[in-house]
């Protein structure tokens, strides 16, 4: 085990009771004691425009600094129209600019996508992979995590109720931690 790892969790949904947020909370508990996790707020970021490259809003500066502090990033996102939500794309753009100063570069990443339908956010997952590849983020390839029928995943306390889903997510976290160790070591 290579030291402590600090993992930022970026949730692609702003809804208070979002399924992605519930999944993120459940998954955060599966990391070993050698890892700390923090949910990264993306809802307060003004829409990205190049005019901000010269004089960034305080929200941009704080967000970029926070992302820089992480060793790795876990993205948990719903699928909107076969892609990622605009709020997530905005956060990625804010962190990647100004050109040549990306806070994402080199940070290991993993993706959990979810949807209320049967496909499990496949489109969002793969669009996000394409973006993260461009940003030079080593991405966990296997296992891939697509969670379908997300409203049925949780009990009344917001906990994932099926043990096989928890076991799958544990194997996902274990593989992600191994990827982080390869890059951190």
Q: Where are the domains of the chain?
A: 5-184
pLDDT digits (tens, 9 = 90+) for 67-92: 999 999 999 999 999 999 999 999 99
Topology adopted by domain 5-184: Rossmann fold (3.40.50)
> If 0-12 CB within 10 Å is exposed, 13-18 middle and 19+ buried, where does residue 147 land?
buried
pLDDT digits (tens, 9 = 90+) for 168-182: 999 999 999 999 999
Q: Which two tokens stand for residue 85?
A: 């939500």
Confidence of residue 1 (pLDDT cuts 50, 70, 90): very low
């Amino acid at each position: 085990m290579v030291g402590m790892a600090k993992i930022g969790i970026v949730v692609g949904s702003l809804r208070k009771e979002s399924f992605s947020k519930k999944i993120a909370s459940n998954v955060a508990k599966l990391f070993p004691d050698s890892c700390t996790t923090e949910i990264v707020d993306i809802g307060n970021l003004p829409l990205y425009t190049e005019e901000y490259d010269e004089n960034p809003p305080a929200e941009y500066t704080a967000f970029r600094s926070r992302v820089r502090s992480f060793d790795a990033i876990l993205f948990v996102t719903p699928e909107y129209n076969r892609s990622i939500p605009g709020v997530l794309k905005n956060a990625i753009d804010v962190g990647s600019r100004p050109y040549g100063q990306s806070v994402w570069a080199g940070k290991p990443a993993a993706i959990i996508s979810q949807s209320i339908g049967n496909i499990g956010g496949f489109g969002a997952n793969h669009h996000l992979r394409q973006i993260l590849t461009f940003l030079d983020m080593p991405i966990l390839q296997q296992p891939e995590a697509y969670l379908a029928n997300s409203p049925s995943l949780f009990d009344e306390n917001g906990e994932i109720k099926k043990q096989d889903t928890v076991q799958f997510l544990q194997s996902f976290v274990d593989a992600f931690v191994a990827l982080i160790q390869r890059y951190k070591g």
